A and B are shown apart, each in its own frame.
Chain A
Amino acid sequence: MVRVETFANIAEAAGAMNQETRFLAGGTLVMEAVNYGSQRFNRIVRTRDPAMKSISLDSSRIVIGAGVTMADILRNPELSFLAPAARAVGGPAIRNMATVGGNLFAPNPYGDFATALLALDADVRFTDGSETPIESFFSNRHSSRGLVAAVIVNRRPDIELRFKKVSRVKPKGIAVMSIAVALNRQVGRLSNTRIAFGAMGPTALRAKAAEAALESATLDAAGVASALNRTMEGLAPQDDPIASAWYRASVAPVHLRRLLLGEESFR
């Protein structure tokens, strides 16, 4: 049996959370668990707080409320750089429901949008105001206790975000993998590149060896070659009904090359 408690604001909702609760925003994760009779929680906490759905932008940072949906992202011209990742989530109905905050908790192989946030070095803000880099948020996700209020992305006009979702069914399919690359080119040479893979481990993961191999490299076939060889270092793909770990490991460098070199149109 499950109870539903609705709170006026996010702080009260956070105060009601414990081991036996789940916070419901879009419902795409929590309601599935309810429908299938999950015995892991017996209370649903939700709030009508409009702050959850706010998007605020200043000159340096973009604060996206945890309750902002993928459809909200797609409608906002200021967030067009995130549109390819938002569009990769589900079909139109799911995008009207699925939220930025929920995507942080989507189990492998889901969480395409969060993969893009990882490549952007986003921060996760909890309801108590504390902030955590998204990478450490992921590494502690299984034991995360706070309620996520927002994610924060730095405005970096010098960075180009490229995103690609590899799936067997198009246009909507579960990820074989998703790849997000944040490129920063200084006089033709790459610097501080971020490469994030979704569905290649228990959470979205960065390919740090490949990132390092791209330092000061040129963005051409010769320049990315050593990075491609090191793509899999630090990744931990798993077998699932969509693809085997072997297949994922085999094709990851291919898809990374295509994304880096712009060998196909990506969206």
Chain B
Amino acid sequence: MSSIEFRKDLFSDERDDNLKEIGQPTQRQDILGHVTGRSPYYDDHLFDGLLHMRCVRSEHHNARIRSIDTSAAERMAGVKRIITAADVPHNINTLLALINFGKDDEALLQGERVSYKGEAIVAVVAETDRQARDAVAAVRIDYEVLPHVLDPEEALAPDAPVVNNAYPNNTFDYHELYDHQKLRFGDVEKGFAQADQIVEGKYQLSPIEQAPIETCGAIAAPETNDRYVCYTSTQALFFSLGTTAKLLDIPSSRLHFIGGTVGGGFGGKVDSLHEPLAVLGSVLTGAPVKFMWDRAEEMQVGAPRGAERWYIKDGVMNDGRIVARQFTGYFDAGAYTRLSSYAIIKATGHLPGPYTIPNVASNVFCVYTNRTPATAMRGFGITAVDFSIECHMDKVAESVGMNPIELRILNAYRDGDIKAHRRFAKNTALVECCQVAAQKAAWPISANMAAQTSLSGGGRTEIPETVTDQVGRIGERRRSPVPREPGAGAQSKGRVAAGTASQAINAAPPQDDDMIIEASRIGHKISEHPQQTAPHQPPVPPQPPGYAPPLVPPAPSHTLAQPAASRPPVPQPPAPPTPPVPPAPSAGAASQPYKPDSPFQRGVKRPGVSSFISGTRRR
């Protein structure tokens, strides 16, 4: 049996322990529905005359579509509608376009070219699931098969096949500058030069399918008030709503989305592929339409946690202190961006792991390959690099002949340490974690290490002079091979003075006035500085961790170097609970934020019901 042990001896003065709920048994609020089989998942809504949708999918990793012949399928029994790319009103999107991050790069249905095996080309709507499947089997597609690339490092070669037309260099564009996300803190070359040993390692993680037991899907139906109701498995109802409104070019006020009861998601139900197709099917047939993946689709087409590969190079002193750490990371995004671009921002913010290392540099690439697009899954962006870092810590311990837990305690960040993304570490607990783990595993550690605490010993607080470079500008790699490691191949290096937070990169302005965050309206503190809550003067928007925003306000270095015995004030807004605000608006009219012509006019005061609904349950 599992049980939780609360270590209330740790940090006891930081916490009010008169808790009524935490640590006490409780019941889920939805549990009665679960044990009686009455929780309403999306497929638990019955509609009269429900039609079924299935997709014709690419048989190739990369191919041009010469022709699509649906004539035989159209004549088959029960077939109501064949949907192709031409039927999708605005057939290009990227999930994070809703927060203005990245270029539209993915079609709902592909008509000209497919970039991964399983990509949807044609959707068939029929009276029964079997009829839809039979019609799918009768659609003929003539492909011109193109060379493909399945490995992220191979995809960076100048002659690699282009995977994604929106990103012809096979890499996501960061900050409209580089084909990778940079992190520079101090001078790793100097650190390597002063180190007693260099320890290098290569680590990788395969894609992982979330595999929820409920497969992804949605049911859409016309309502009596000129809206469409959509029951969906989504984990991100407003992503799904906004994405559907954009792809179908329909005001979101005409979409009545109902979610919230999800049969397992784990990140695999944020990509909003089902709702647009189900609603489109309903629009085109005037009938309720269900689009539900089967298990084979869930495994083949469902976006997984993406593959990652990490190269780590450490400069280590013989006493175990790590004085420099360099990363070169590759995220395999698959054929389209989805959430991989954001995962890299998260990963970079996490580097160099929970350790205080004076010199850190990383180049992380979001690479397109002809594989199933990757997306969110439980801690994505962090999981693989943490795995890599901790494997590497063991390798370092072996190299210097040191107890691996003591190595971690020695290098662990403490309260008040400045991290590579130029924020202070606070509420750290790695030291205590290591001590408890050692104790539980009966792993001996020295008295000195057992006496350490996260509360003291921090204060490695100076932002060092930082070496920069401009290698890897967008498109450069297409023309000739460019080194991938941080700093390599740089003809000229820049220097940012010690104590300087970083180069300021302005975030995208809010698209509409009503998107400006009012500090008083959100549940957490975003600033201690009253001038930032002035009306219509947006506070600095929430930044992704690791995105290297300017310190707010710019802090003189002497305040950063204050003694660390007490917790230093931390002048940053807390990490945002939402995906990142983009660095800058993308250029070009095509990427203007979506705005319906006449939003919020219909249906607002006329709630309706589907004339097809026959109750969620018939007895």
Contacts and interface: CB of A to CB of B under 8 A. Distances in A.
Bound pair: A and B?
A: yes
Interface of A: 1-2, 34-37, 39
Of the listed residues A1, A34, A35, A39, the one surrounded by the most CB atoms of chain B closer than 10 A to its CB is A1
Interface residues of B, number: 11
A39 B137 contact: yes
Contact of B131 (A1, A35, A36, A39): A1
A36 B294 contact: yes
B447 interface: no
B130 A1 contact: yes
Given A1-B77, A1-B130, A1-B131, A37 B136 contact: yes
Interface in B117-153: 129-131, 133-134, 136-137
A37 B134 contact: yes
B296 interface: yes
Interface of B: 54, 77, 129-131, 133-134, 136-137, 294, 296
Contacts of B131: 1
Contact of B294 (A1, A2, A35): A35
A36 B130 CA distance: 8
B130 A37 contact: yes
A37 B136 CA distance: 10
Contacts of A1: 77, 130-131, 134
A37 B296 CA distance: 12
B77 A37 contact: no
A36 B133 CA distance: 8
A2 B130 contact: yes
A32 to B, nearest CB: 10
Contact of B296 (A34, A36, A39): A36
B134 to A, nearest CB: 6
Nearest to B129: A37
Contact of A39 (B77, B134, B294): B134
A34 B134 CA distance: 11
Contacts of B77: 1
B372 to A, nearest CB: 14
A37 B129 CA distance: 9
A34 B137 CA distance: 14
A1 B136 CA distance: 13
17 contacts: A1-B77, A1-B130, A1-B131, A1-B134, A2-B130, A35-B294, A36-B133, A36-B294, A36-B296, A37-B54, A37-B129, A37-B130, A37-B134, A37-B136, A37-B137, A39-B134, A39-B137
Nearest to B77: A1
A39 B294 CA distance: 17
A2 B128 CA distance: 12
Q: Top 10 A-B pairs ranked by shortest CB distance?
A: A37-B133, A39-B137, A37-B130, A1-B134, A37-B134, A1-B130, A36-B294, A36-B296, A37-B137, A2-B130
Given A36-B296, A37-B136, A39-B137, 15 more contacts: A1-B77, A1-B130, A1-B131, A1-B134, A2-B130, A34-B130, A35-B294, A36-B294, A37-B54, A37-B129, A37-B130, A37-B133, A37-B134, A37-B137, A39-B134
Contacts of B296: 36
A94 to B, nearest CB: 15
B304 to A, nearest CB: 13
Contacts of A35: 294
B261 to A, nearest CB: 24
Nearest to B294: A36
